[in-house]
Amino acid sequence: MDDLATRVSAFITESGMLDGADRLLVGFSGGPDSTALLLLLAGHRGNIEAVHLHHGLRADAADGDRDWCRAFCEHRNIPFSTAELDVPAHRLPGESVEMAARRQRLDYWADRVTDDESTIVALGHHLDDRLETFLQRLFRSSNASGLCGLRSISRVAGVRFVRPLLCIRRREILSWLEQRGINDYRVDASNTDESIGRNRIRARLMPLLETFNTAGALASLDLLEQDALCLERQSAAVLGDTGELSTDILQESDPCMWPRLLRQWGQRQYGFDLTVRRAAIERLRKVLDRASDPCRIDIDGRFFLQFEKGRLYLQAKDSEPDAVCTWNWREQVALETGTLCLESRLVEMPADRCSGDSWCEYWDAEQLGNELTLRPRQPGDRMLPFGSDQVTRVKKLLSNSPLGGSIKRALPIVCHVDGTILWVPGVRRAAAARVTAESSEVVQVTCRLLTDG
């Protein structure tokens, strides 16, 4: 085995990044980095699949990338698949093309993997990418977690990402491909566009950095990552097993922990990868100092962070505020939202149980609490379905449902006041607040659509 392949193989083994993986999905753009990654991993293990994501950018050039990738894999008998993202059509207001592409890639991987511990996604980032990311985020006032965010193993939105090439440099990859006669890999012309921050760093700062002690800078990044991991572990311990976050928890924690607490809370409760802006942390500090409740702040450009009775939850910025409502099911036994009617009644179990009816569910009243929140479905919504041990994206549950499209669009998400998803009426309920032999009070909630499906 050649030296570079040996080093990558040793890096994979020492880090344990592929431990427990039954299937390996490789992000394959056709560029030199992902091409080398695919060849190295194909020689390292079986059950591998190359995945090419077409972003709907660069017109014919992007089509050429996809066709080249397909032919490359067919020639080497490597399983290949492709997906259309259409970044321009799904770009959010105020979102850059790069941010939109990253968000949509993450959505794709989350839909594809859905917390499947046996499936891992491998990406072709290398050491130069790590340094570029550090410099890019340095100018964005990132904390330690952000500065060393490009890691060999990371988990985002329930997906386990690995980067086996973070032990080698870009020039080593190009040399390795040249030695094997592979020089027709795809080159994205936009990589030379210096109006893009990362490209400007690559063209101007990286050559200057090479005149200094690059090895020392990389070693400092390793130490910075250890510091960040320590703070992230502390944040996870503060959130505990439930992953719930309240204003009390924030006020009892050092503000340096807030971005980490919010990010982990967002991932565990909503499946979102929240990148909390520095300005949002400052607004959050002022809100907590004033003890304002209820209120909401713009947390990352996509969501509002809402406070009510000491609890926190997210609301998508493009959702209508009036579409979110609170239902006190004890005081108001019937609630009409315009599209459906919810009704509650206390019952005896199991005599009153309507088995198999997904429009009728039973809950432990004490665990449920007196108030429920109804809201529209948001991208990335996830729940732990009753009878399952894996968190699942609501989008996937709906896609597997036989309900018609108009009905699916009319369905609300029924949540606990802390934001935990409890029920998608007509589709699936969550494992939370289930009725047991110890339940002292049981509430039956039925849902009836007021719209034609």
Q: Cα separation of 38 and 122, whole Å?
A: 9
Query: Where is the domain boundary, 294, 316, 338?
Result: 316
Whichever domain contains 37, its CATH number is 3.40.50.620
Structural domain boundaries enclosing 325: 321-449
Mean pLDDT of 10-28: 93
What per-residue confidence (pLDDT) applies to 351?
A: 45
Instruction: Identify whether 229 is part of a domain.
Output: no
Same domain, 135 and 212: yes
What per-residue confidence (pLDDT) applies to 349?
A: 66
Q: Cα separation of 146 and 148, whole Å?
A: 5
What per-residue confidence (pLDDT) applies to 269?
A: 76
Residue 373 — pLDDT band, cuts 50, 70, 90?
confident
Going by C-alpha positions, the residue among 111, 77, 78, 104 that lies closest to residue 89 is 104
Mean pLDDT of the chain: 86
Whichever domain contains 280, its CATH number is 3.30.465
Looking at residue 29, the DSSP 8-state letter turns out to be -
Residue 70 — pLDDT band, cuts 50, 70, 90?
very high
Given the DSSP bridges, would you call strands 159-162 and 413-416 parallel, antiparallel or unpaired?
A: unpaired
Residue 318 — pLDDT band, cuts 50, 70, 90?
low
108 C-beta neighbours (distance < 10 Å), count:
18
Same domain, 119 and 40: yes
Same domain, 100 and 148: yes
246-255, 287-296, 312-321: range with highest mean pLDDT: 246-255
Q: Cα separation of 387 and 384, whole Å?
A: 9
Mean pLDDT of 353-367: 79
Same domain, 282 and 207: no
Same domain, 439 and 293: no
Same domain, 333 and 388: yes
Looking at residue 323, the DSSP 8-state letter turns out to be G
Same domain, 312 and 330: no
Q: Are 304 and 298 in contact (CB under 8 A)?
A: yes
Query: Where is the domain boundary, 165, 183, 216?
Result: 216
- At 276-315, the pLDDT tens digits run 878 888 888 887 877 656 677 887 777 788 777 777 877 7
Same domain, 18 and 103: yes
The yes-or-no verdict on residue 385 having pLDDT over 50 is yes
Instruction: Identify whether 358 is part of a domain.
Output: yes
Q: Cα separation of 82 and 161, whole Å?
A: 18
Same domain, 275 and 390: no
* Least confident range of 53-57, 82-86, 105-109, 299-303: 299-303
Cα four-point dihedral sign 32, 36, 158, 146: negative
Residue 253 — pLDDT band, cuts 50, 70, 90?
very high
Given the DSSP bridges, would you call strands 295-298 and 303-308 parallel, antiparallel or unpaired?
A: antiparallel
Instruction: Identify whether 272 is part of a domain.
Output: yes
* Least confident range of 13-27, 327-341, 357-371, 397-411: 397-411
Same domain, 345 and 434: yes
Same domain, 295 and 260: yes
Q: Cα separation of 295 and 307, whole Å?
A: 5
Q: Cα separation of 248 and 261, whole Å?
A: 13
What per-residue confidence (pLDDT) applies to 319?
A: 57
Instruction: Identify whether 225 is part of a domain.
Output: no
20-24, 107-111, 166-170: range with highest mean pLDDT: 166-170
Instruction: Identify whether 234 is part of a domain.
Output: no
Q: At what angle do helices 258-269 and 214-239 cross, to 10 degrees?
A: 60
Beta bridge partners, 382, equal 393
What per-residue confidence (pLDDT) applies to 356?
A: 60
What per-residue confidence (pLDDT) applies to 354?
A: 53
What per-residue confidence (pLDDT) applies to 452?
A: 46
Q: How many domains does the chain have?
A: 3
Instruction: Identify whether 223 is part of a domain.
Output: no
* Least confident range of 322-326, 387-391, 416-420: 322-326
- At 29-44, the pLDDT tens digits run 999 999 999 999 997 7
Same domain, 181 and 282: no
380 three-class SS: coil
Q: Cα separation of 360 and 422, whole Å?
A: 13
Q: Cα separation of 192 and 202, whole Å?
A: 9
Instruction: Identify whether 222 is part of a domain.
Output: no
192-206, 216-230, 296-310: range with highest mean pLDDT: 216-230
Q: Are 273 and 106 in contact (CB under 8 A)?
A: yes
The yes-or-no verdict on residue 181 having pLDDT over 90 is yes
Instruction: Identify whether 82 is part of a domain.
Output: yes
Residue 142 structure tokens? 């990132």
Query: Among residues of the chain, what percentage have pLDDT more than 90?
Result: 42
Query: Where is the domain boundary, 286, 316, 346?
Result: 316
Residue 95 — pLDDT band, cuts 50, 70, 90?
confident
Mean pLDDT of 5-24: 92
Given the DSSP bridges, would you call strands 311-316 and 442-449 parallel, antiparallel or unpaired?
A: unpaired
